[in-house]
Structures are given as C-alpha cells and as structure tokens.
Chains A and B, each alone.
Chain A
C-alpha cells in the first residue's frame, strides 16, 4: 500500500537530482526516498561529521563499563592520597593529570575524571534516548489521533497539550524528582533515578512532538491516498498507523534528533540542581555542579564535563540539521 506514495515522492523530488547527475546519464534508476535522502546527507560534510561523532558517542556509552575495566579505571574509587587535604585540590598541575589519571582527578574525593566521564556518558545517553522515546510515543499517538479525527477529540488533545506546555516544567521536575526519590515504579537506587528522569523529561515534552504530528496529519488526511484507503474500507487504526505514520517518519526522525540534545542538557541541569542522578553515581551534570565550587582554582574539572556535554549536544544538533535538510529539502 505504501508503494504508490514513494513513487510519487521519488518522481517529484528525484528530478533535480537526476538532472544534477545527468552527466553520467547512462543508467537512470528509480531511487527510493531513503536513497535520495542519503545522497543528500552524504554531501553535507558537517552533518556527516556530526553523525560520526554521535556514532562514536553511542559506542562509547554502550561500551562504557567494559572500557573502564579495560583501562583499569573505577569511577567511584577514592584516591584521597592525591588530594591536598588543606585545599581539597588535586596535587600536581592540570587537576592532577598523570598516566594513571589522564584527565586528572576531581577535588575532594580524588576520583578519576576519565572514568567518571565514561560512566556519565551512558547515563546521559540512556536518559536522553529514553526520554525522547517516551515523549515521541505519547506525542505521535496523540498527535495522529487529534489530527486525523479532528472535532471534539482534537479539541481535548489540543487543550491537553496547552496544559502541559503551560507547566513550569523545571520547577515541576524539581518537585517531582524530590518526591519520587522515596521509590516509584517498584524501583530503587540508580534504576529509580534514571527512570524518574526519563519520566519527568519525557512525559512533559510530548506536546512539542504532538503538535508537529498533528499539523502534518491535518495536511495529509485530506490527500487522495487517505480517501482511497478509507474508500476501500480501511479502519481508523489502519489508516493512522499504516497510511499516515509512514509519511511522518521524516519529521519524527528529524525532530527526535533535535530533541535528544535538549534532553541531554535537561538531564545535566537536573543533576546539576541535585535532583537528577544522585551521588556517588557519576553524571555530567553532577560533575559540573561539583566543579562550580572550584572553577577558579581547578578549571580542569569544569572543562572536561563541560566539553563532553558541549560536543555531544553539538554533534546531535549538526546531525539533526543535516537530516532535516536531507529528508525535507523544502524546509531549507
């Protein structure tokens, strides 16, 4: 059923590409939307660089624990013999950099910064991906339903979105994170903190995705292929998920890639404020929080997690922009 759409898309969109590559016009093949997007994406060097970094980051995060044991690092081991007790600062220059601790050790506890960055990477990415998935799931379903059915359903869902958007999110997140510390979802400790973060960040961010999907659905539902599908007797869920959804994949992917860096920053902010990941578990925001007290005397400690967040967020943003340009050239 999806085939006709792709062909239409390929025909309208592929033409300028074909002309561009018309020099070796020997074999003109029909290309899918995906292939065309990939060709465009490959040309955008900046986006490719972003993509490569993102892939590396995901690999690092996924292999964080094995990497740590391979390098013989422990993110929670104290090395207070490397700390000057009077100043709380690492002994030696550049935040106590040495072969054993290539990025130095943190003040006060002397824990290895590299190990904590590695350990923090998976926390950041798990929370960011989890929250993005959650807000997408809710946003896409409600957006589709609102856009397709319209009328009273649309009114209710739209007002619900307005309500959620009107929430003072940060304040609410702080409050809810504090109350849920006692235990929620039958979890405790680190899994609990991660789930709470995913819930808080994901559950309140869905209206953004919801609005985009609703808008697109409104435009698409009047198109002929939907009429045709309905005419052939297709039911609501079928039209929603088999006809409409595949046409929304592009904006969803683009928006998700742009939502991930926002969520990474949100997670870091909550941990920075002390309501996110709880010590002793390492997290980038938590490290920044600790580093603030020592910024002037041990800048090293702030630079490392700061750079980690900066690079990650930048890479995801570049990738997201590149994907948007590739998948939806009209938005350029």
Chain B
C-alpha cells in the first residue's frame, strides 16, 4: 500500500510541476457537463484560425439538393442559404425557425395552400452575380423532380406541390417554364402552390433544397464537386474521399445575413478518418468536431466518464429520436390489443437502457413523441415499478388475450447496429419471464426497410411480431415525427416505416386535420392526442429517448448542441482559439 501511495503522490507532484511550467498554455478547463445543451460555450467573436472537422466516412454528396443526413443539412448552411433555417441555439432553443435567404417566414394564404416568400435584397453568389427567386425555384425543381439524377434527398416538395402536368424535372424537361405551381412574379418573390393545406411549410423551406442554384452552373450529379456558394464560406478544395477545404466567401455580405458571423479563416474537413482516431483527436484538440455528430464510441465513453476533467467537456444531448419496439398489429397474436399490452408491461426498460449504454445513451421513454418534439406531454400509460417491467400485469393481459401459456414470435433488429441487437436481447430476456419466446432475427440495415422489416408481407410470412426501430423526424414537430410511423397512409408494401401497420381512422384524421390547421396551439394539442391514442393501441413500446455523448473541444468557440440537428453542435458560427 505504501509503495502505491508514494507512486501516486510522485505523479501528483509531476503533474503539478508541468502545470506550473506551462502556465496559461495548459489545456483550457471544461465548461462543465452538458454546458452546450444549456447555453453557448466559449462564446467569442475572435476571428481567424482554422476550424477542423473529421468524418469516419465521406459524404455521398455535398450538393445541398442531394443530401439527407442531419449533419449534411447542418454543415451545408455554411455555403448554401436555404429560405428558412434553424437559429443556432442550445438544446430545444435550437428548434426555433428563422428566415435566412427569405426576409421573413412564409405568408400562407388560401387556407395554407399557398405560401409566399420574399427573398432578401443584395444576396450574391461567390462569383458576384445576384441571387434571384428563379434560382430558388430551379433548386427545388432539380432536387425534387429529377429523382433519377439527384436521388439522395427527401421529396416532400414533389409530394406536396400541385403538379397537374406531371413535371419531369429540369434535366428531362429543358423548357424555361419549369413547374407551374412555383411562381416567381419578380426576382425577389417566390410563391409555392400546394395540392392541400400544409401548415408546417416553413419547415420544408428550411431544407437545403431551397438554397439557390444557378441554372447555368448546374452540372447535375457532379454539382457536388463545385457548389456555387451563397453562404459565408466557399469551396477552396474538394478532394473526394479525402478532404474538404472552405475559405471565406468575399462576396458574402453580413448586412444581408443576421445569422452567419464568418469567424474562422478556414474550415477543413478530413474524411475517412478512423472513428477511434477522431475521438482521440477531438480530445487532444487536433480536431475540433466529429462532423457526423453521432457521439463518441463506447470505449471513449467509458474512459471519459471515469475522468472528472474530461467529463466536464462532454455534452449529453438528446436529438428528437426515439428508440422503440414496434408491435406488428397484423401478425398474430398481436392483432389482439391485449397481447400487445402484455408486451408493454413485460419489457424491462431499465435492462434495455443499460444494455444500450446506460442513461448516457438515452432516457427511459414512455411516450411516442420524444421530449424535445412539439406535442410531447409527459405520460406513462403502462407504468411499471421503476420501469423494470411488471410480470403480474403482463400475465393478466396475456390471459385476457387467451394466451395464458405464452407463445412464440420473432423480433427483428439490424445486424450492423450493435445497440439495437443488444436492446433486442434485453427485450427477449424480459419477455421470456412472462412466457413469450421471441427469436431474434438480424437483417442488414441497408435493406432493413426495402427487403425485410419494411415489407409487411415478409413480416407476416416470417412471423415477425416485434420490430426494433429508431426514429428521428425530418423536422421537430409532432407531424414530422408521427406521420411516417403511425399514419395509415404511410403503410407501404416495401420501404414501410409504419412498422406497426397501424391504420386507425381516428389517428389518421387527427393528423390530417392538424397539418391543415394554421393554429399552432391546436396542432400541438392534436399531436399529444395522437401520441396518447397510439399508446392506447399499444402499437409501439417506447424504450428510450435517444441521446448522444459529444466531446466538446476546448479549442472551439460558440458551441451549442442543437435539438434541430439531432443534438449536433450547430456548425454555423463555430470559431477557434487555436491550440498553442
């Protein structure tokens, strides 16, 4: 024991010495746990320096009209200005929608079927030419109506714009007219005409697809190699699969832009870096941000949480995502609501949470809507002691379902998502206690929806009654979250995301009515009601409200972890106090 004591005190002395020697050059102290989810960390207006990002992968495309990842939406705003965007803010404050390229939020008319935006005066491309409403129209056309060329992004505009002529997109239809339902009466006005009222159109206008693209410079799928910037930075170099370098856009004018600050001189993104290396680099300060924003890996988590100093540099952010088990209402015996309720009571959510990495990776959930999505209201319809499951109640419902002796079923999970397989393992263990034997079936995530769990016929054939799932919405409102997973119309023969195959007329009507209603409070109330009804139907077992653990570089400034981008730091105004 004595020897140990000596060694450790020697260590203390050494570290004390080095601290004294280094003086002010020592690593800055962390701002505290979760500081960036509550406010701005390292707020600074200091200019200059290079902000470095790293990615374990390479983005499929940097083209604002051809991307779907949240980090892409986040990062693209540095060089592409959409009509609307999210204001950099900590936590749920990040969900605030503000005008970007537009002067103000859209003006609805015709009961929410027509949306008009005024475009700011004086916004220019990096080559000095002025941005016009036609460029915005063109950007929407190319990204939504040429799915054969640009296939990666969402296609909400295509679904919602009134399109009697079946417009084929700008690459197939070379006429200058374009789609008739987007009108540009002058260079600074753009009008969208929809096929039905849609009250949350501003959220669609916040997608990078509305960022202007000059028709003359568009090269289709290759536009990613030379995106013409409207934002505060422009491309200096894009070495595919290796590195992205952005420099200040000299044509960008702060007077036209209340959001962007243009702090660093340069922004560098290193691609295809090993994930463990990224974590180490972020901790040492060689890299400032892991651009994918999925948080540190399990090992780094274990190391960081053991060390109070390192822990003070972490943000445990929630990102509007829910981890859940969908109960397939069309696969026997789950066509009986009592059998579904038995599962709701049987699952030990604490075991699931621990298996997935503990409270750091998600809080225990009891509603369909995550806490940071509008419409969330605290509720726990199937409360069990400490959320650890209730065997007695589960068995009562099994009895009511006529399955007293239990039954066999299958549970699907994605092979390459270890957390999901682990959660399924914990679910299986809990179900075993009430007599339900569930067999885990793993499928690759790339084809999970197209070939396996997203194909109702496949589930029926293979007796897959329980489906592991994680869902985050494209925009942070109840409609954006719920429509795809509980609306009857969302059921598809392949690529289905309504995994419970829930088709409840009351739920469908609530959602349809809500989205046509321009009264925000009424919409929010409707979302809460839908949440309750889905839980009454026991179609979904909420497991955890997903969270990520981000390591905050002490050398990066203006860090806010925004709910709007799955808890990632808002990339718009990150600057740097460079490591000495």
Cα–Cα, bound, A84→B360 (Å): 11
Chain B nearest Cβ from A2, distance in angstroms: 49
Q: Is the CB of A85 within 8 A of B354?
A: yes
Q: Any chain B CB within 8 A of the CB of A208?
A: no
Q: Is the CB of B441 within 8 A of A278?
A: yes
Cα–Cα, bound, A89→B354 (Å): 10
Q: Any chain B CB within 8 A of the CB of A72?
A: no
Q: Any chain B CB within 8 A of the CB of A279?
A: yes
Q: Is the CB of A86 within 8 A of B303?
A: no
**Contacting chain B: which of A3-11, A51-59, A139-147, A290-298?**
A290-298
Closest B residue to A280 using CB positions: B425
Q: Is the CB of B426 within 8 A of A85?
A: no
Q: Is the CB of A88 within 8 A of B302?
A: yes
Contacts of A273 in B (CB 8 A): 415
Q: Mark A67-91, 1 if CB is under 8 A from B, else 0.
A: 0000000001010100111111100
Chain B nearest Cβ from A118, distance in angstroms: 19
Please judge, given known A-B contacts A181-B441, A293-B418, whether A89 and B302 are in contact too, CB under 8 Å.
Answer: yes
Please judge, given known A-B contacts A86-B358, A87-B305, A278-B439, whether A293 and B421 are in contact too, CB under 8 Å.
Answer: no
Q: Mark B378-402, 1 if CB is under 8 A from A, else 0.
A: 0000000000000000000000000
Q: Any chain B CB within 8 A of the CB of A164?
A: no
Q: Any chain A CB within 8 A of the CB of B461?
A: yes
Q: Any chain A CB within 8 A of the CB of B442?
A: yes
Q: How many residues of A contact B (CB 8 A)?
A: 32
Q: Is the CB of A76 within 8 A of B429?
A: yes
Q: Mark B263-304, 1 if CB is under 8 A from A, else 0.
A: 000000000000000000000000000000000011101110
Among A86, A189, A280, A296, residue most surrounded by chain B Cβ atoms (within 10 Å): A86
Q: Mark B502-531, 1 if CB is under 8 A from A, else 0.
A: 000000000000000000000000000000
Q: How large is the interface on B (under 10, 10 to 19, 20 to 34, 35 or more residues)?
A: 35 or more
Q: Is the CB of B425 within 8 A of A181?
A: no
Chain A nearest Cβ from B351, distance in angstroms: 6
Q: Is the CB of B357 within 8 A of A109?
A: no
Task: Say which residue of A84, A85, A108, A294 sits within 8 Å of B299 (CB atoms).
Answer: A294
Q: Any chain A CB within 8 A of the CB of B68?
A: no
Task: Say which residue of B360, B429, B439, B462 sits within 8 Å of A86 (CB atoms).
Answer: B360
Chain B nearest Cβ from A106, distance in angstroms: 11
Q: Mark B347-384, 1 if CB is under 8 A from A, else 0.
A: 00011011111111000000000000000000000000
Q: Is the CB of B351 within 8 A of A80?
A: yes
Closest A residue to B424 using CB positions: A279
Task: Say which residue of A86, A178, A279 sits within 8 Å of B425 (CB atoms).
Answer: A279
Q: Is the CB of A78 within 8 A of B299?
A: no
Per CB-CB distance, the 5 closest pairs between chain A and chain B, nearest first, are A85-B358, A87-B302, A274-B415, A182-B462, A297-B302
Further 8 A-B residue pairs, CB within 8 A, beyond A87-B301, A108-B354, A293-B297: A76-B429, A78-B426, A80-B351, A108-B355, A108-B356, A181-B441, A294-B302, A296-B299
CB-defined A-B contacts under 8 Å, sample of 7: A80-B351, A85-B358, A108-B354, A108-B355, A273-B415, A278-B440, A290-B418
